[in-house]
Structure 1
Amino acid sequence: MDKWLRYHVQHVIRIIGGASLILAVALVCYCHRKRAASIRNQRLVKRQISEARSSFNVAFYHYSEIKRATNSFSEEQRLGVGAYGTVYAGKLSSNEWVAVKKLRNRENDGTGHNQVMDEIKLISTVNHPNLVRLLGCCIEQGEQILVYEFMPNGTLAQHLQRERNAGLPWTVRLVVATETAQAIAYLHSMNPPIYHRDVKSSNILLDYNYKSKVADFGLSRLGLLDDSHISTAPQGTPGYVDPEYHQNFHLSDKSDVYSFGVVLVEIITALKVVDFSRHHSEINLAALAIDKIGKGCVDDLIDPFLEPNCDAWTLSSIHKVAELAFRCLAFHGDVRPSMEEVADELEQIRLSGLNTGDDNVTLAASSVASVSSSPCNGSEKSIGESIRKNVVAIRSWRFGVPHVRHDCLKNAEEKKDGSSAFVQNVRLSEQSSPSGNSLLGNVVK
């Protein structure tokens, strides 16, 4: 019995030893392959960076500089968190403020550095005054970081939701809508076309002069003629997504048109795109707008902030923009206008106010381009009696991402310099002026 037991014990020991040896060999092979893959990946990154340096007009920052600019990615300088990473305010050694997008680490699926390089390639091919500008990137120490120009006046969404001021006058909203449409139309005109795929008011940034800058190309893809732009993965933001996408998972230039139609409704109403506090039939802003505009009840949608100055020209132009939004929100993409047509129509509506010859309309419509002061020293330029200057501490900025941290830069500056930077927040004039008495006729029912 003892002999039999010893035999089986020795047999089990040999099996365990063999299994352990196999596992050890497998582990060594795994580590070797992982190390080899890491080395190949590092070489690929270095080669891509080398190629990018000679091909793209962007800077390559050292990780130490980015870390210093963001105060070690301090929570106090965090602007927000989005689907693709976290955005921080950063102050470079040149005293230039930038927006630093620290992408989520995706090295596990081998796409981390590719995402950065693809975005650099994508953005480096575009050149439009109303597209946010990529300044550079950093690919070091396992991090993928993009550096963009800084937008001190936040997002259109913040202004419409009264998070930054009492509200924007209609003329300013119309200029922002026109510039945004022109930027998206430009993307669609590229060869191959570029689809933004996440057009929304929080991705429309405002610079020092309240000039529109379309941001967040994280979801953008080249609109190739194959199936590369067809995906079953969720795309866009609820409330802005093309309804046809839920049927065929196909995004196109007309998907951007639909999303922009929602933005136009936001500009008119200043309502949230999705609001569960509204009646169940009005939770979705697009559905609410289609119903009201289709019934010819545009006046029911107008932001109350605009009503005190709703003269003939303002009311007429609001109705025209509403009718345009109605066409952009058509269920079938083929029925919607192109972004080029949308941009042209908005430009004509905007020019109709300038062509009245009324000085008040001209001043109000051009006020966005006129507002210019240094964010660093607080100096201001006079831009006319119709502009009321109200200098306050700018307490929040956002780079097209949710969850704003409102006191981040103010606190960061107080810690670094003992003073608050960017102390300008100019409230624009609410004046508007009449032109012709032709209002929008009956809307298609």
Structure 2
Amino acid sequence: MPRPWRPIAAAKCCTVEDHVVLGNLSRCRPTRTDFAKKVAEFRRLSSTSTSTTELIRDDEFSQSFGAGLYAFELSELRAITHDFSSNFLLGEGGFGTVHKGFIDDKMRMGLKAQAVAVKLLDVGGLQGHREWLAEVIFLGQFRHPHLVKLIGYCCENEERLLVYEFMPRGSLENHLFRRISISLSWGTRLKIAIGAAKGLAFLHGAEKPVIYRDFKTSNILLDHDFSAKLSDFGLAKMGPEGEDTHVTTRVMGTHGYAAPEYVMTGHLTTKSDVYSYGVVLLELLTGRRAVDKSKPKNEEKLVDWAKPYLTSSRRVRFIMDPKLAGHYSIKGAREVAALSLQCISSHPKDRPRMSTVVEILQGLQHLKDMAVTAASGGGGGGGGWPPIAGRHAISARARLDKKTISTK
């Protein structure tokens, strides 16, 4: 019988676990000099004729980029996923497929028995070797409670795989948009928003800032207690150096989340991530996707549809997710709406820092001014449309009509 898996609580930032060989990783945030040199060397090496297999197996490379990571054999990963069986499929994307596996405590000395997620690179897919190396570099260097933990990698011939901690509740995307899922409560949505914001704030606040570049609901994974962790660092970029104000790069990411100035010019900054975060905040508020082709033409793009409602605190209730059934803080919803409006500003300088976003959201956690209380009969998970205030208005109108009829 396989051993039952129990989720392991995330270690706090900068905590070194004795059972993991972390090599030279002694800080959560490497200094600018150390990390910048390593990334520069990576870019140089990966652009030369040196094969990726030779590069990743090089001792110096492993010490610089893979410190603290385990190098797995392909046969081992085949075994723990039952040869990448479709029965163990967790998801798939531009990178390839992700399968669930279980590592026992005999596979590597010091490695705990645990469930893992094994990402298998589709060699002919949209993302390639450089994205795989980027994951090894960034997640091999950084440790934080709100970044998914990379346990190890595999590099054999043309095969490229990554092994992560398993996140039992899957992605935020699935919880928000799958009809079969139970609706997330207001408090849980706020908790997820704060956790994701902390992850971005950590990256942006590093000595050498990291631009995530692909912030979206499918890349926000949830632990057993709905703690949010950022995943998929294949598109991450180092921030501008010296007097540079931005990084110029080809436009990549996901339609609907990318900042307008980045799409138009290719100029990438940390404020590009802030815009994407604002879009996700809107998704949490409304229960709508960033882009939904099933909606009428003028409602397809969430930002364009929602913006007019965000400028007035009285209108916010008309765009709240019906699945909340009115069970949300009125003041909290208004504050989140106002914050999302700042984040999606067309002027990058007007967007707040992620550290400020964290501070604002944390101040909303204990608000109790719910739009509907359990006693008022507004419970249930499905809700409906119009919003709760609209339903009360209809009920009041019905009572008035009944009174009028009885007096005739």
Q: How far has the Cα of 1:191 moved from its partner?
A: 2.0
Rounded Cα–Cα distance in structure 2 between residues aligned with 1:253 and 1:139? 31
Q: How far has the Cα of 1:228 moved from its partner?
A: 8.7
1:335 and 2:346 matched? no
SS at match of 2:218: helix
Q: How far has the Cα of 1:91 moved from its partner?
A: 2.0
1:276 and 2:293 matched? yes
Rounded Cα–Cα distance in structure 2 between residues aligned with 1:152 and 1:254? 31
Letter in 2 for 1:303: D
Rounded Cα–Cα distance in structure 2 between residues aligned with 1:242 and 1:227? 16
| Alignment partner, residue 59 of structure 1 | 70
1:70 to 78, 81, 87: 81
Contact 1:275 1:284 in 2 (8 A): yes
Rounded Cα–Cα distance in structure 2 between residues aligned with 1:171 and 1:39? 50
Identity of aligned residues (%): 34
| Alignment partner, residue 38 of structure 2 | none
Deviations 1:322-342 (A, max 9, x none): 110011110111111111111
1:100 and 2:118 matched? yes
Between 1 and 2, higher relative CO (CA 8 Å, sep ≥ 6) is seen in 1
Contact 1:290 1:329 in 2 (8 A): no
Higher mean C-alpha displacement, 253-262 vs 141-150: 141-150
Which of the pair is proportionally richer in helix? 1
Q: How far has the Cα of 1:281 moved from its partner?
A: 1.4
SS at match of 1:138: strand
Contact 2:135 2:232 in 1 (8 A): no
Contact 2:245 2:269 in 1 (8 A): no
Letter in 2 for 1:124: G
Rounded Cα–Cα distance in structure 1 between residues aligned with 2:350 and 2:50? 52
Contact 2:175 2:183 in 1 (8 A): yes
Contact 2:221 2:228 in 1 (8 A): yes
1:321 to 324, 336, 339: 336
SS at match of 2:58: helix
2:212 to 179, 196, 219: 196
Q: How far has the Cα of 1:80 moved from its partner?
A: 2.3
Q: How far has the Cα of 1:295 moved from its partner?
A: 4.6
| Alignment partner, residue 121 of structure 1 | 137
Rounded Cα–Cα distance in structure 1 between residues aligned with 2:323 and 2:124? 45
TM-score (normalised: structure 1): 0.65
| Alignment partner, residue 419 of structure 1 | none
Change (3 A) 1:200 1:54: closer
1:346 to 340, 361, 372: 361
Q: How does 1:255-270 map to 2 (within 5 A)?
A: 255-270=272-287
2:97 to 63, 68, 86: 86
Letter in 1 for 2:202: Y
SS at match of 1:182: helix
Between Structure 1 and Structure 2, how many residues are aligned?
315
| Alignment partner, residue 243 of structure 1 | 260
Rounded Cα–Cα distance in structure 1 between residues aligned with 2:133 and 2:291? 34
| Alignment partner, residue 56 of structure 2 | 45
Change (3 A) 1:216 1:164: farther
Rounded Cα–Cα distance in structure 1 between residues aligned with 2:77 and 2:237? 27
Q: How far has the Cα of 1:252 moved from its partner?
A: 1.1
Letter in 1 for 2:305: L
Q: How far has the Cα of 1:242 moved from its partner?
A: 0.4
TM-score (normalised: structure 2): 0.71
Q: How does 1:152-163 map to 2 (within 5 A)?
A: 152-163=168-179
Rounded Cα–Cα distance in structure 1 between residues aligned with 2:298 and 2:49? 54
Larger of the two Rg values belongs to structure: 1
Contact 2:134 2:236 in 1 (8 A): no
Change (3 A) 1:141 1:257: same
Contact 1:257 1:337 in 2 (8 A): yes
Higher mean C-alpha displacement, 249-258 vs 289-298: 289-298
Rounded Cα–Cα distance in structure 2 between residues aligned with 1:294 and 1:39? 54
Contact 1:65 1:92 in 2 (8 A): no
1:210 and 2:226 matched? yes
Q: How far has the Cα of 1:55 moved from its partner?
A: 5.9
1:142 to 154, 158, 175: 158
Letter in 2 for 1:205: L
- Give 4+ residue runs of structure 1 displaced > 4 Å after superposition: 37-42
Q: How far has the Cα of 1:85 moved from its partner?
A: 2.3
| Alignment partner, residue 230 of structure 1 | 248
Change (3 A) 1:56 1:247: same
Give ranges in structure 2 of 5+ residues lacking alignment. 1-47, 106-112, 374-380, 382-408
Rounded Cα–Cα distance in structure 2 between residues aligned with 1:247 and 1:132? 31
Q: How far has the Cα of 1:184 moved from its partner?
A: 0.5
| Alignment partner, residue 300 of structure 1 | 318
Deviations 1:28-82 (A, max 9, x none): xxxxxxxxx9996654332157633896111111111011112112223222221
